[in-house]
Amino acid sequence: MRWGSRDASHARTGSDAIGRALGRRPRAARVVALAALLFTLWPGGAPAPALAVGSAMVEEEWVGDRDGEPSDEDLIATAAGPAAAEGPAPAATPGSELGAVPDASEAVAPAPDLDAAEPIEMLERTVAPGTRARLQLRTSESFSGTMVVTPVFVVHGSRKGPRVCVIGGIHGDEVNGVEVVRRMLKLLDPVSMRGTIVGVPIANLTAFRRGSRYLPDRRDLNRYFPGRPTGSSASRIAHGLFTNVVRGCEAVIDIHTGSFHRSNLPQLRSNLADPGTVVLSIAFGARTVVNNAGRLGTLRRAATDAGIPAITMEAGEPARFQEEDVAEGLDGLFRLFRSLGMIETGDEVPPPRPSPVMAFLKTRWVRCDQGGILVSRVKLGEPVVAGQALGTISDPLSEEEETVVSPISGTVLGMAMDQVVMPGFAAYHIGYEERPLVPNLASETAAPETMVPSDPEGLDLEERPE
């Protein structure tokens, strides 16, 4: 037992003194004696809190109780009040009064969390930190006047960080990208995440429902960015997506496949003359990167021209879900998110590629000169040399047969599946002038449009072979 700063021996002495002072005096006299004694025993000579009301109130508490005399223990408890029952009183600190209430103005407010994210406003909705939301982008109308709504998913982290946009399904028959974005959204945890990831699994919902690369008016959506609000149907859809979603982001990843029964080796299309795009390409860690600024009207080109680093991932062929290509795209996205500090290393984050990523500064399409049935002799990713046979074209109505030969040495980045072809069909995409992708490559690389063609026929700079 302790009172203030006194030790236990003092407490025992005080208890003996109380007993001697009370003795067998009359009840009222014992109360007065007890009050006086407690006053002298309280630390520092200050009056005990229980006695601040005066001894008259102690006396009054017992008025009317005449059935019996209270015991000495009752008198001690009554005189000492609640403070004695609750335990020892705290010791006084220098410059303070015992039992004084602290001034509320002296309380120190907790420091604000400067790293905490704030709510974001998007598509007429507010998304709180550490949550996810499904928003609606009104992009077009059907022939019946029904509004076409494109779902936009937002995963908003609890901590500050960049805002990254991942888009699939700009062409309605390219379903690998749709699955990549869907799986990505399922795996992200907004509570443990930094920054914001905006996912659009199907950007061209009208074409996707038709299973077609094109919109109903046969326009290619990826030729109309950034779009115009009063333009064609494709231009209006592009304008709505670019203005309301893409412009608010700090990086864009657009996912595609090959077109018209062609398949692409998993690769990135990047403008390696842009430093921000080089950083994204290295962080993504694709097996192959192709230096390409993007055709005017493509989402990637419009974003880069607007100052937003953007890359396009190409993987697989259209109208098919290909697990290996989907996994490749998903791995690249999570490597990128980790590199940007948006997620921590976990089971879903693949390790960085052990070898340097290789970049092809130039590419060329090899086209067919004869119609017929194409049968390939090479595979995706296979190195070839100038003069090597890439495939044969047989005329089913005659005995004529043509060999398709590579005009350059390089690597097969894309190729047509075995099928019936017409003269001029782009059958093989060959990458050449290969070098490691390093951060300072942008300063050493000219934009693709300024490159001098290496042969009289010129270099095919189109992002798509059609």
Q: What are the residue ranges spanned by the domains of the chain?
A: 8-91, 120-357
What is the Cα gyration radius of the chain? 40
Q: pLDDT exceeding 90 applies to what percent of the chain? A: 60
120-357 topology per CATH = Aminopeptidase (3.40.630)
Q: Quick one: average pLDDT of 87-112?
A: 57
Residue 313 pairs in a beta bridge with 255, 268
pLDDT at residue number 302: 97
Tally of CB atoms within 10 A around 370:
18
Q: Alpha-carbon distance 213 to 140, whole Å?
A: 17
Q: Quick one: average pLDDT of 96-100?
A: 49
Q: Which residues contact 89 (CB under 8 A, 6 or more apart)?
A: 3, 4, 43, 49, 83, 98, 99
pLDDT tens readout for residues 192-201:
999 999 999 9
Confidence of residue 290 (pLDDT cuts 50, 70, 90): very high
What is the token pair recorded at 388? Answer: 């090597």
Which sign, positive or negative, has the C-alpha torsion 262, 267, 273, 279?
A: positive
DSSP β-ladder status, 288-291 and 262-270: parallel
pLDDT at residue number 348: 63
For residue 226, whether the previous peptide bond is cis, meaning omega lies within 30 degrees of 0, is: yes
What is the token pair recorded at 325? Answer: 């290509």
CA atoms within 13 A on the CB side of 461: 18
pLDDT at residue number 310: 98
Q: How is residue 44 annotated by DSSP?
A: G
Q: Alpha-carbon distance 113 to 117, whole Å?
A: 9
| Closest residue by Cα to residue 206 from 134, 300, 139 | 139
Please check the confidence at residue 447 and state whether its pLDDT lies above 90. no
Q: pLDDT exceeding 70 applies to what percent of the chain? A: 69
Q: Quick one: average pLDDT of 278-289?
A: 93
Q: Which residues of 275-310 are buried (b: 16+ CB within 10 A; e: fewer)?
A: ebbbbbbbbbbbbbbbbbbbeebbbbbbbbeeebbb
Burial (0-12, 13-18, 19+ Cβ within 10 Å), 461: middle
Q: Directed axis angle between helix 72-86 and helix 8-22, to 10°?
A: 150
Residue 392 pairs in a beta bridge with 375, 403
The whole-model pTM stands at 0.73
The amino acid at 387: G
Q: Quick one: average pLDDT of 215-232?
A: 94
pLDDT at residue number 294: 92
Confidence of residue 109 (pLDDT cuts 50, 70, 90): confident
- Average pLDDT over the chain, rounded to an integer: 80
CA distances in angstroms from 342 to 103, 143, 161, 384, listed in the order given = 43, 42, 7, 40
Q: How is residue 116 annotated by DSSP?
A: B
Confidence of residue 246 (pLDDT cuts 50, 70, 90): very high
What strand order describes the sheet that includes 389-394? 401-405, 389-394, 372-376, 419-421
pLDDT tens readout for residues 367-376:
999 999 999 9
* Least confident interval from 79-83, 306-310, 313-317, 457-461: 457-461
| Closest residue by Cα to residue 198 from 230, 223, 163, 226 | 163
Cβ(51)–Cβ(43) under 8 Å?
no
Q: Alpha-carbon distance 55 to 36, whole Å?
A: 9
For 363, phi then psi, to 5°, come to -140, 165
Cβ(358)–Cβ(270) under 8 Å?
no
Rank 21-25, 84-88, 157-161, 432-436 by mean pLDDT and report only the highest.
157-161
